[in-house]
Amino acid sequence: MLLIECPYCGERPELEFVYGGQAHIARPRQPAEVSAQQWADYLYRRDNTRGVHAERWRHTHGCGRFFNALRDTTTDHFLATYKVGEVRR
């Protein structure tokens, strides 16, 4: 089980968290104006990075807040966690 550092609460076991997919993805501002391909890309295509991955987690069984994390997907080692709105570290 992973040990994850919530930027608000500190280190907690993975069971308290829910994974939220790739971070820093913005919904198109005008969904009606983007092409079908752009909309499908937004909905379905993710980097699926092999290496350092920026991702969202939610501390569901704790403070309930979303935050971002950098994790190496080849080792599952967390490099950093940071609050939503902060730039990627």
Partner 1 sequence: MPLGLLFQGFRRRPPQRILPAAKPLRQRYDVVIIGGGGHGLATAYYLAKDHGIRNVAVLEKGYLAGGNTARNTAIVRSNYLTVEGVAFYAESVSLFANLSHELDFNIMYSERGHLTLAHTDAAVRTARWRAEVNKHLGVNSELIGPEEIARICPRLNLSRHARYPILAALYHPPGAIVRHDAVAWGYAAAAARLGVDIHVRTEVTGIATEGNRAIGVETSRGAILADKVAIAAAGHSSVLAAMAGVRLPLQSHPLQALVSEPVKPVLDCVVMSNTIHAYISQSDKGELVIGAGTDAYTSYTQRGALHINTHTLDAICELFPNFRRMRMLRNWGGIVDVTPDRSPIIAKTQVPGLYVNCGWGTGGFKATPGSAHVFAWTIARDEPHPINAPFTLERFRDGHLIDEAAAAAVAH
Interface positions with partner 1 (CB under 8 A): 1-2, 14-15, 18-19, 21, 36-37, 40-41, 43-50, 53, 55, 71, 73-76
Kindly state the tokens that stand for 40: 């499908």
Q: Which amino acid is at 26?
A: A
CB of 87 to partner 1, least distance (A): 22
What is the H or E stretch that residue 39 is in? helix 36-44
CB of 83 to partner 1, least distance (A): 19
CA 64 centroid distance within chain:
14
CB of 53 to partner 1, least distance (A): 7
